[in-house]
Every structure is written in C-alpha cells, then in structure tokens.
C-alpha cells in the first residue's frame, strides 16, 4: 500500500498459485499482480530532461508457466509466458525538446525458457533464454534498453567440499537506445563471461577470487558508457 503526497492512496495486490503432479514431477504455476511507482527525483528535477509534471507509473502483470523434472529430477525444463501493461510509463522522448514523458499505455510480453541439469552432486548447469516484445501505443517509437533476445548459462563445480567454481555467461541481442548527442541508435549484441572461485578455509573464513568480463568483451549497455575490460578482484569474507 502506497500513500504518496499529492496522489491517491494506491494498493498493489499480488496473488499466485502452484501445483505439482507428483506422479510425473510436472509443476504448473500462475501469478498476477499490480504495481505502483512514483517518479524519481532525477526524472522530476534533472536540468536537461526532467519533467515536474510526471505522473506515477502503474502496471498490471500476469505470468503462467510449466516445468518438467526428468531423470530422477536431475534435469528440469521450464517455459513461462508473461504479459505486462503499464500506464503512464516514464520514458525518454528525444524531442525536440528532449525530456522524460509519460507513455499513456505500454505493453510488454514474451516467453522465458530455462533448463537445469545436475548429473552429479558436485556439478550443475543452468541455461535461460528470454524473448521480449514491447509496444508503445500511439507511436512507432521503440521502448529503449529492452533487448528482444537475452540469454545465458552458468556452471557450478565443486571439486572439493571447501572449493566452489562458478562460470557465468550472459548473451544480449541488439538493444534500442538514444541520447541527446547521438539520437536513436541500436547497440550491438554482446556476450560476457564471468568467473568466480570461493575457497572455504574454516567455518568462519572464506577467500574468493573473481574475474568479470573474462575475455575482455567490448560493448555498451547504454550509449556513451563502454563496459570496463577484464576486471579481476579478490577478497576475504569473515562470519562469526
């Protein structure tokens, strides 16, 4: 429940259900809900693109999916359909003049697929793929920073009880974006690999080493913000 100043009180209910057929290890699930979000201080007061007349965003969404476990539940395959409708979604309008505006009605729908495989207790892999389609009613403009295709996979390997190795890959398709200096552009697709190793010395101490963007992928998530190259880091965690 939100009680904002200068706007009406807004309730955001959510409900969900899940049912599993034990005989076949098939799980069905469905969720539905509403959302509410006030404009940020940035959106209201930025000296270049801010708009003090912005209204809060509201949304309604629903998703439904099914997953199937096989091979003594060591292999799981799932698929989910989702649909969301936004009212007064805050988005950037290149203008002129360029500014943040409310989109009266915007929809987003798509399908997400996932796979999980754990052939042995010490090795597991997961993969996911999402297809997204968005539409801004009343205009041919594309909703920015929402790739149509996005996926990845991860591997977790524990060769010893005190040692964990994590490999994570993310793959992103072309992304529509825009900025004041460049106008509308489509950012190139990219793939990034991250690696992390955790070593538990005792029940209180753990050492970790990680390398982000292991293969030095050259990409931009937003116009004018190139991703850093290979980024190693290390540290010690203590818990008492």
pLDDT at 27 over 90: yes
User: Tens digits of per-residue pLDDT, 107-161?
Assistant: 999 999 999 999 999 999 999 999 999 999 988 888 999 999 999 999 999 999 9
What's the confidence (pLDDT) of residue 184? 87
- If pLDDT is split at 50, 70 and 90, which confidence band does 6 have? confident
Q: Which secondary-structure segment (H or E) carries 122?
A: none
What's the confidence (pLDDT) of residue 142? 86
User: Tens digits of per-residue pLDDT, 170-227?
Assistant: 999 999 998 888 888 999 999 999 999 999 999 899 999 999 999 999 999 999 999 9
* Residue 224 · residue 179 · CB < 8 Å: yes
**Average pLDDT of the segment spanning 21-47:** 96
The whole-angstrom separation of Cα 82 and Cα 112 is: 8
- If pLDDT is split at 50, 70 and 90, which confidence band does 93 have? confident
Percent of the chain with pLDDT over 90: 88
Sign of the C-alpha dihedral computed for residues 85, 87, 93 and 99 taken in this order:
negative
């Amino acid at each position: 429940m939100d009680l904002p100043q200068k706007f009406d009180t807004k309730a955001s209910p959510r409900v969900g259900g899940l049912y599993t057929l034990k005989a076949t290890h098939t799980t069905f699930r469905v969720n539905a809900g509403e959302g509410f979000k006030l404009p940020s201080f940035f959106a209201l007061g930025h000296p270049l693109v801010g708009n003090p007349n912005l209204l809060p965003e509201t949304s309604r969404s629903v998703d439904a999916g099914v997953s199937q476990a096989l091979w003594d539940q060591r292999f799981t395959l799932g698929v989910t359909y989702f649909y969301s409708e936004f009212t007064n979604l805050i988005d950037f309008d290149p203008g002129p003049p360029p500014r943040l505006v409310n989109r009266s009605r915007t929809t987003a729908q798509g399908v997400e697929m996932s796979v999980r495989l754990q052939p042995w207790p010490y090795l597991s892999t997961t993969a996911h793929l999402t297809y997204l389609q968005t539409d801004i009613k009343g205009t041919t403009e594309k909703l920015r920073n929402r790739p149509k295709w996005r996926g990845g996979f991860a591997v977790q390997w524990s060769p010893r009880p005190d040692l964990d190795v994590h490999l994570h890959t993310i793959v992103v398709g072309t992304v529509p974006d825009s900025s004041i200096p460049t106008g509308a552009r489509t950012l190139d697709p990219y793939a990034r690999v991250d690696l992390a190793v955790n070593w538990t010395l005792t029940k209180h101490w753990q050492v970790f080493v990680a390398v982000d963007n292991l293969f030095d992928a050259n990409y931009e998530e937003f116009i004018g913000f190139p991703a850093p190259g290979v980024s190693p880091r290390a540290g010690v965690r203590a818990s008492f």
